[in-house]
Amino acid sequence: MDLKEYLETNALQVDRLINRYFGSASGELGKASAHLLLAGGKRLRPALLLLSADAVRKGSSIDVMPAALALELTHSFTLIHDDIMDADAVRRGVPTVHTLWDEPTAILAGDVLFASAFEFIALADAPDSAKVRAVSMLARTCVEICEGQHMDISFESRDDVLEGEYLKMVEKKTGVLYAAAAGIGAILAGGNPAYADALYNFGRGIGMAFQIQDDIIDLVAPAEVSGKDRASDLREGKKTIISIKALEKGFDLSEYRRELANAEIDAVIGKLEELGVMGEVRDLAREVISTGKKRIGILPESEEKQLLLDIADHFLARSF
């Protein structure tokens, strides 16, 4: 099975679980909680959890499927809250939760998904000791995600954000949830500590690259492709790796913190390419991916290990 086929099959499995548990949500809060889940998605974090489980014990993915759903619930909770903080109107090609309902309902909807994630971890078919470790890892991950998001917000009022600070923020905001997906999959499947640690660090590395690539996609991809408002990071004055490297070259993107026409966005992209900023950002993403892939060199060779390596490359090549 190639990666495209695997991801499509996995997404269908996760979608079926989502429909089973959230498809008939009742009440406005229930519907708000289910809104983004039912809007679709690539289900990459569940895929990483299931692949990691099978990489350490083939066939174990069936036992840990509820935990895979838990990672998607956690991801959706962060998206709902991020959209409120960023005042974004579109997510996954549909209106954001706070625009369809209101901000208090959206906050509570995110909280519902956050709490439900731990419930689904507990439903995995694994020893209690492994589930305790998995719950602990997810709890710590959620704390780090909040820290990363706070760092991201605090950067907006600063003009001196360094690349190292950005990478720490990306590690916490995005990398740790991919790390948890891989680590929890290994833990629940009974993987030894060395394998679990290797997969955790692999997930962290490719998750960081995912966010770097996301910074590029936010700028260059049209809304109908990305499913999000185009160049929202630029308009909101976010300190992305692109803006940091641009400022190093004397190109201050803060003047574009306003509503922008597509022609203006295209002009910014052209100048960034000319200055070599986009090339440097792509090189950084490749470096982080390469480091992540080396982490799982200790795993035995298997179809699942190859798919993990393929998913790392996919994170680098994706355009939405």
Tokens of 190: 């009974």
- 287-296 mean pLDDT: 93
**Neighbour count for residue 102 (Cβ, 10 Å):** 12
Mean pLDDT throughout 29-44? 92
Beta bridge partners of 94: 91
Rounded to whole angstroms, the Cα distance separating 211 from 221 reads: 15
133-144 pLDDT per residue, tens: 999 999 999 999
The radius of gyration of the chain's CA atoms, rounded to the nearest angstrom, is 19
Work out the mean pLDDT of the chain and round it to a whole number.
92
What mean pLDDT comes out for the span 104-127?
96
Confidence grade of residue 228 (pLDDT, cut at 50, 70, 90): low
> pLDDT band for position 88 (50/70/90)?
confident
Report whether pLDDT(101) > 70: yes
Residue 240, C-beta contacts closer than 8 angstroms, at least 6 positions apart = 166, 215, 218, 233
Contact 96, 33 (CB under 8 A): no
Torsion angle, alpha carbons of 260, 262, 266, 272, to 10: 30
Residue range 249-267: mean pLDDT, rounded: 89
Helix (H, G, I), strand (E, B) or coil at 2: coil
The answer to whether residue 35 scores a pLDDT higher than 60 is yes
pLDDT confidence tier of residue 18, bands split at 50, 70 and 90: very high
Query: Which option is the CATH number for 3-317: 3.40.47.10, 1.10.3720.10, 1.10.600.10, 3.40.920.10?
Result: 1.10.600.10
Q: What is the pLDDT of residues 49-72, one digit of tens each?
A: 999 999 999 999 999 999 999 999
pLDDT per position as a tens digit, 177-187:
999 999 999 99
pTM value is 0.91
HEC readout, 121-137? HHCCCCCHHHHHHHHHH
- Residue 196 pLDDT grade (very low, low, confident, very high; cuts 50, 70, 90): very high
| Partner residues linked to 289 by β-bridges | none
DSSP letters, 42-64, are: --HHHHHHHHHHHHHSTTGGGTT
